[in-house]
Amino acid sequence: MPIVSAAVCPHPPLLVPAVAGGAAAELDVLRAACLAAIDQLADADSLLIVGSGPTTGTQYESSAGGSFGPYGAPQVTVGSGDPVLPLSLTTGSWLRSQSKAVGLPTLMVTVATDESVEGCLALGQELAAGNERKALLVMGDGSARRSEHSPVHLHPRAEIFDSTVAAALDLADTATLAALDPDLAGELKAAGRAPWQVLAGAARPATFTGNLLYHAAPYGVGYFVAAWSA
């Protein structure tokens, strides 16, 4: 059973207090939920962080650099060297650094936002291969069309889509995650669809217990936090 635990978190830059500034307290509950989910990964032998990026399968070591400079906080960085990590992995690396999982050997992997379902599931199976007890941190946002104040205007199917995802994460329901429609997810601007389907591929055929720790859309974007244990 190579994947022994998993956490699902969103990746808004506002999770970082220095980015959020005076509004940092608004996401205290979300931030705490993320750290609680990641803390339970610490018993594994190694950690895989999966998030959206330009291509599928690009790998970065835990020392890879990332910066929140584009979001107004150049003083907040992860790793070393030039900032090469996409936002999803930069946020994942930052959350890891704040958690009990900070000491785990870590590999970060990208999946393209428009990757096919089959490609996502195959990547998940590839990441889960081997005998090492691995933990998975999956970074992904829900629909960015949840309200009239969303980054993209309200879509009537956004809340139903996100509710479906939330229920699947709570039940560790890999079949429902694998069945998410890429075209609908793209229309709803749900950046997490591909990473969640990587999770579905990695978790099969083991049985997991899920726990949804957070589901809300504070800025018109669906955010989920879940913890899975095998």
Could you tell me the two tokens for 76? 């907040």
Cβ atoms within 10 Å, residue 223: 25
Predicted confidence (pLDDT) at residue 212 exceeds the cutoff of 60: yes
pLDDT > 70? residue 140: yes
CA distance 160 to 146: 10
Query: CA 229, CA 43: separation in Å to the nearest integer?
Result: 11
Token reading at 167:
């229920």
d(CA 94, CA 76): 9
Q: State the average pLDDT over residues 59-81.
A: 93
Is-contact 142 224, C-beta < 8 A?
Answer: yes
User: What's the pLDDT band for 155 if we cut at 50, 70, 90?
Assistant: confident
Please give the backbone phi and psi of residue 132, each rounded to the nearest 5 degrees, phi first.
-70, 140
pLDDT one-digit tens code per residue, 40-67: 999 999 999 999 999 999 999 999 999 9
Number of Cβ atoms within 10 Å of the Cβ of 164: 16
Domain 3-229 has CATH 3.40.830.10: yes
In whole angstroms, what is the distance from residue 2 CA to residue 105 CA? 15
DSSP code of residue 65: B
DSSP 103: G
Q: Which of 212, 182, 230 is nearest to 10 (CA)?
A: 212
Q: Is the pLDDT of residue 224 over 90?
A: yes
Is residue 105's pLDDT more than 90?
yes
Average pLDDT over residues 152-181: 93
Task: Sketch the domain layout of the chain as residue ranges.
Answer: 3-229
